[in-house]
Homo-oligomer: A and B are copies of this chain.
Amino acid sequence: MEQIDEIDKTILRLLQQDAKLTTKEIAAQLSLTLSPVYERIKRLENLGFIKQYVAILDKTRLGRPITTFCQVSMRYHDKAFIEKFEEEVQKLEEVQECYHMAGQVDFLLKINISSLDEYHDFVKNKLSQIENIGILNSTFVLKEIKHELGYRV
């Protein structure tokens, strides 16, 4: 059984907004007792609908308020080069997200940094050190307009 019903969806919606809700609080919203809610949460965890519970931190408070997106195009598209890049990018702590893209650009990187100086250092001494990079195109985030943490359920 891998299906979920409306009750499960409500549970997911609630936990996606606030992982600290108690079983009791969720049960109250659903007009159920603790056990069914408890069992359903365990099931949603076991089936992999819920992957993890995390604390969301404030990047500005942590001293790294700047976000940039960097488009990377490889010079050659040999499998070995691609895999090497994917491997190296895992090691770069500034890179928060990396996507292999369809289209002209091979990779899109989301990077989180404290200053333009740090970005300069990152591009010059870390990113550009990876073999076979052709074009780098960085754009800076001026303002986060929307940032939904959860998915539609």
Contact = CB atoms under 8 A, between A and B. Distances in A.
Interface stretch (A28-36, A60-68, A127-135): A60-68
Interface residues of A, number: 57
Contacts of A89: 145-146
- Copy number in this complex? 2
B61 A57 contact: no
Contacts of A142: 99-102
B16 A19 contact: no
B108 A139 contact: yes
A151 B62 contact: yes
Contact of A19 (B12, B55, B59): B55
A90 interface: yes
A69 interface: yes
B61 A20 contact: no
5 contacts: A18-B53, A20-B53, A53-B54, A54-B150, A105-B139
